[in-house]
Structure 1
Amino acid sequence: MKMMISKSSLTDLCIKQLKNLLIFNEDNELEILKSSIDIALKKVENNFNRNNIKYYSEKDRPLFNAFNSDQYTVFLYYLSNTIWKEGNPNLLADRIYYLNKILHSVDLFYEVNLPDYFVLSHPLGSVIGRGVYSNYFFFGQNCTVGGNKGFSPFFDERVALLSGSKVVGNSRIGNNCIISANAYVKDTDIPNNSIVFGTSPNLIIKNQPKEYFESYFSNLFHNYCD
């Protein structure tokens, strides 16, 4: 993967942001941060290998630019998630999660397990909460995923949440689904190959041929496969 700044510069950037906006203890946390950045960058590279949006590759090689805010959002999510998964003190994961919220106005909690292959685009105002996520997941700005009465949504492969859309509660979104702008799905299952409009319980669900979604998601992901 090509990086627009070196790994050491990226580490310095994270440290400066944490020190300026929150807290960072170099004596106790530097080695945790360095080792977690190594793992997070591998996850970024794997993710960007499938990302088909402009600026994520150069000559068919994944490209990471820490000054592309969407890309840095993904990196900070992976960094906080890695620190948590590696069993390190949650306090550092909390601060990096918080840093992501401060810088990008997006809520990606480190205990939420996003899939290996997901794409976000201008995700300001989005809250992507607990749920089960499958590969080829997309979300834009002001989207919400959340629980209701102890239930959280399940997303099959190839699901797109467009601007302002919400999916909450005991909902299963099938393969090849687009939740249209400002749609609100609550405690509702959506069948495969569907575009969803409106608000639960009065949703409008339009079925489309599988080829329609193959075309749509191939614009978001390289090596799109069924």
Structure 2
Amino acid sequence: MNMIHDLSIDDLYRLVEKQLNNLFVFDKSSETKLLYKAIETALKRTEKNFAFNKNKYYSRDGNVVFNFFHSGQYTIFLYYLSNTLQKESGILADRIYYLNKALNAVDLFYEIELPDVFFLDHPVGTVMGRAKYANFFSFSQNCTVGNNKGVYPEFDKYVTMLSGSKVIGNTRIGENCIIAADTYIKDAVIPENSIVFGSSPHLVIQKRTKEEMDDFFSKQWRTEQQ
């Protein structure tokens, strides 16, 4: 799959540069080369991510589509851009991270290692903390992943956090799990192939067959074999 986008890399560079200048000071003399190179890398990471997504806005006629004015897609790109820049320029990475917060009201710090393949849907008010994430992770608005006494959660592949859900502390979410809207999970182990409701310590865990959960996630994702 090839990625279709309306802006050239030069145009995208100018867009990001202008957005940065509207909020901060952008030093062309020292930061232009770093930003341009990082944009190229972030675009490749974005293409890889979107290639697995079955959402109608992410592909067309067998090609990946990146619409810079689709806020969810641009959020993912800016995260990859800040994450790419962190080793080269922490100051520039800080500003891209801040720009993402200002534009999209989502907190995806560049030191957080989100996976190669993840999805967000209307993520306003969401904060993703320093957990261990796996591919095919998705989240919606007002979700929180955070620590309890310095310990962060771990997620296996194919986990969906629905709106308002929270995963905190020494929690392990197994593969093929859905965390229902407004669910609060703290210091718990959620087995694979489950749908979770309620609040810790009184969670309701509904087990499903692997086939049922595979069917659910197959509607959202292309697998590595496809």
Where on the TM-score scale, by shorter chain, does this alignment land: which range?
over 0.9
Q: Distance in 1 between matches of 2:165 and 2:157?
A: 18
Q: Distance in 2 between matches of 1:18 and 1:167?
A: 32
**SS of residue paired to 1:198:** strand
Match of 1:99 in 2: 99
Match of 2:75 in 1: 73
Q: Distance in 2 between matches of 1:154 and 1:41?
A: 27
Deviation at 1:118, TM superposition (A): 0.7
Segments of 4+ moved more than 6 angstroms: none
Conservation of the 8 A alpha-carbon contact between 1:217 and 1:224: no
**SS of residue paired to 2:107:** coil
Q: Distance in 1 between matches of 2:55 and 2:125?
A: 21
Q: CA-to-partner distance for each residue in 1:23-64, whole Å, 9 max, x for gaps?
A: 211111000000000100000000010011111011111111
Sequence identity (%): 53
Match of 1:142 in 2: 142
Match of 1:37 in 2: 39
Report how many aligned residue pairs link the two structures: 223
Q: For the aligned residues, what is the CA RMSD?
A: 0.9
Match of 1:160 in 2: 160
Conservation of the 8 A alpha-carbon contact between 1:218 and 1:224: no
Q: Distance in 2 between matches of 1:57 and 1:7?
A: 20
Match of 1:122 in 2: 122
Deviation at 1:224, TM superposition (A): 6.2
Q: Distance in 2 between matches of 1:211 and 1:24?
A: 51
Match of 2:199 in 1: 199
Match of 2:190 in 1: 190
- Letter of the aligned partner of 2:143 in structure 1? C
**SS of residue paired to 2:206:** strand
Q: Distance in 2 between matches of 1:74 and 1:10?
A: 15
Q: CA-to-partner distance for each residue in 1:171-208, whole Å, 9 max, x for gaps?
A: 00000100000000001110011100000000000001
Deviation at 1:219, TM superposition (A): 1.8
Q: TM-score, normalised by structure 1?
A: 0.97
Q: Distance in 1 between matches of 2:212 and 2:22?
A: 47
Q: Distance in 2 between matches of 1:142 and 1:215?
A: 26
Q: Distance in 2 between matches of 1:32 and 1:153?
A: 33
Match of 2:24 in 1: 22
Residue of 26, 46, 49 corresponding to 2:48: 46
Match of 2:151 in 1: 151
Match of 2:61 in 1: 59
- Letter of the aligned partner of 2:46 in structure 1? V
- Letter of the aligned partner of 2:41 in structure 1? I
Q: Distance in 1 between matches of 2:191 and 2:25?
A: 46
Q: TM-score, normalised by structure 2?
A: 0.97
- Letter of the aligned partner of 1:146 in structure 2? G
Residue of 9, 18, 24 corresponding to 2:11: 9
Deviation at 1:221, TM superposition (A): 1.0
**SS of residue paired to 1:203:** strand
- Letter of the aligned partner of 1:46 in structure 2? K
Deviation at 1:83, TM superposition (A): 0.4
